[in-house]
Amino acid sequence: MTNLSTLQTLAKKHGTPLFVIDHEQLRRSYALFKRHLPRVQAYYAVKANPNPEIVGTLFKAGASFDVASMPEFMIVHKYIEGMPAKERQDWIWDKIIYANPIKAEETLRELDQYKALVTFDNSEEIRKIRKHAPNSGLVLRLKVPNTGAMVELSSKCGAAPGEAVDLILEAEKNGLTVEGLSFHVGSQTTNFDNFVQALNLAANIYKEAVDRGYTKMNLLDIGGGFPVRYDDSVKPFEELAKLINSEIKRLFPKEIQILAEPGRFLVADAGYTVSKIIGKAVRDGKLCYYIDDGVYNSFSGIIYDHCKYKIESFKKGVKEICTVFGPTCDALDVISMSEELPSNLQLGDLVFSRKIGAYSTASATSFNGFPPAKIVHINV
């Protein structure tokens, strides 16, 4: 964990609002994932935080990447370009999966030159891929339970289990090869049974495909959803990993390659914000602090990710429940209505947040003219 004095020193040097990315923590999170899921290749979900320096650190650590747009694809491809030419094509398959099931025709035409691995979940997408990206390898995205996930992802993407094998055979008839299956149990999934149900569903579809004569699948992408311990209500990752390992060993032969798409899990703990108090008021008897970062910037995950971030103070003092607002004039710009902070904080004092590396700066804007926080990298 980054030393708090380091955060203060960086804020003094660079000003606020400040967003700090600790690359040593990135490496620790990746190592933790690999240690407890040794059979699973981690494809970092770039959308969680597409910062190129983050991608570079994880690339050097051995990670692969899940992308959902061509800009994300090119962030990763920049590192692949450094490989010997004869190895690059194999590296694209080993290092990138284009995991957005719905792709524009222009995107498919651009992807075709890379012979990429892409997901799909419907017949129309099969026809689009056949026409615009016939060199692609396909992975069928399945609809699976997302019960209890912080962000539900099954209503927009995923083929129903009952139509899965029909879609696989339809793709084959169109001259395409379905390499395997994928699913996503929902972001920040604390209901571990989602993984159990999804793995068993995928195993049943594998069996049905073989029974109906399709034997070309050799990979399974178990998606993301690996939860971050924002608080003690979230069970340790080790418990989830033990459950996943047991089910994979029971359901899938060793020749099946297992992929996963951790995003939040790899990057959340590596991000910190440091903000300055720019206003203080009492409204309806309640203490309110205004800081120079908010939901349109580093705290955008409150809106888009349904996440809550704890605001902490470097200064000690008697605490009370207060409201913390961002700097814009929009009433939506509320970071917390029930934050426990010292009542003696003054204008210019600094506050900070931990575990804010995922889905924060990724969706930041410059609404109301307030620029995003300056990003500083440490332990690179």
Please compute the mean of the pLDDT values over residues 118-143 and round it to a whole number: 97
Neighbours of 99 (CB within 10 A): 27
Query: Residue 89 pLDDT > 80, yes or no?
Result: no
Q: Give the separation between CA 325 and CA 380, rounded to whole angstroms.
A: 32
Please compute the mean of the pLDDT values over residues 139-154 and round it to a whole number: 79
Phi, psi of 160 (to 5 degrees): -65, 140
Query: Residue 145 pLDDT > 80, yes or no?
Result: no
Phi, psi of 351 (to 5 degrees): -130, 165
Give whole-number Cα distances, 181 to 6, 40, 260, 280, 300, in Å.
44, 14, 11, 53, 32
Give the closest residue to 28 by CA, choosing from 198, 170, 237, 338: 237
pTM of the model: 0.94
Please compute the mean of the pLDDT values over residues 101-106 and round it to a whole number: 97
Q: Give the separation between CA 354 and CA 312, rounded to whole angstroms.
A: 9
Residues 6 or more apart in contact with residue 232 via CB below 8 angstroms: none
Please compute the mean of the pLDDT values over residues 76-80 and round it to a whole number: 88
**Residue-level pLDDT at 87:** 61
Residue with token string 């370009």: 81
Q: What is the DSSP string of 311-367?
A: -EESS---EEEEEEE-SSS-TT-EEEEEEEEETT--TT-EEEESS--SSSGGG---G
Give the closest residue to 258 by CA, choosing from 240, 245, 275: 245
Please compute the mean of the pLDDT values over residues 131-145 and round it to a whole number: 94
Query: Residue 128 pLDDT > 90, yes or no?
Result: yes
Q: Which two tokens stand for residue 77?
A: 């491809």
Q: Which two tokens stand for residue 33?
A: 């994932």
Q: Give the separation between CA 335 and CA 219, rounded to whole angstroms.
A: 41
Question: Mean pLDDT in the chain?
Answer: 94
Q: Give the separation between CA 375 and CA 365, rounded to whole angstroms.
A: 14
**Residue-level pLDDT at 147:** 74
**Residue-level pLDDT at 375:** 98
Q: What is the DSSP string of 201-225?
A: HHHHHHHHHHHTT-----EEE----
Q: Give the separation between CA 272 and CA 129, rounded to whole angstroms.
A: 41
Confidence band for 149, pLDDT divided at 50, 70 and 90: low
Asked if the bond preceding 17 is cis, omega within 30° of 0, the reply is yes
Catalytic residue among 157, 288, 322, 329, which? 329
Q: Give the separation between CA 345 and CA 330, rounded to whole angstroms.
A: 23
The answer to whether the Cα torsion of 70, 71, 74, 79 is positive or negative is: negative
- Residue 98 pairs in a beta bridge with 67, 118
Please compute the mean of the pLDDT values over residues 12-35 and round it to a whole number: 98
Q: Give the separation between CA 172 and CA 183, rounded to whole angstroms.
A: 20
Q: Which two tokens stand for residue 315?
A: 């200064």
Residue 168 contacts residue 209 (beta carbons within 8 Å): yes
Whether residue 329 lies in the annotated active site: yes
All domains in the chain, ordered by first residue: 4-19+271-378 (2.40.37.10), 23-267 (3.20.20.10)
| Range 172-194 burial, b when 16+ CB lie within 10 A, else e | beeebebbbbbbbbbbbbbbbeb
What is the SS3 assignment for 368?
A: helix
**Residue-level pLDDT at 156:** 82
Residue 217 contacts residue 137 (beta carbons within 8 Å): no
Give the closest residue to 263 by CA, choosing from 23, 27, 65: 65
Residues 6 or more apart in contact with residue 156 via CB below 8 angstroms: none
Please compute the mean of the pLDDT values over residues 165-177 and round it to a whole number: 98
Confidence band for 189, pLDDT divided at 50, 70 and 90: confident
- Highest-confidence range of 45-49, 155-159, 226-230, by mean pLDDT? 45-49
Give the closest residue to 32 by CA, choosing from 270, 282, 299: 270
Q: Which residue has the higher pLDDT, 189 or 275?
A: 275
Q: Which two tokens stand for residue 70?
A: 């061509």
**Residue-level pLDDT at 81:** 78
Residue 137: is it exposed, middle or buried by C-beta count within 10 angstroms (0-12/13-18/19+)? middle
Query: Residue 187 pLDDT > 90, yes or no?
Result: no
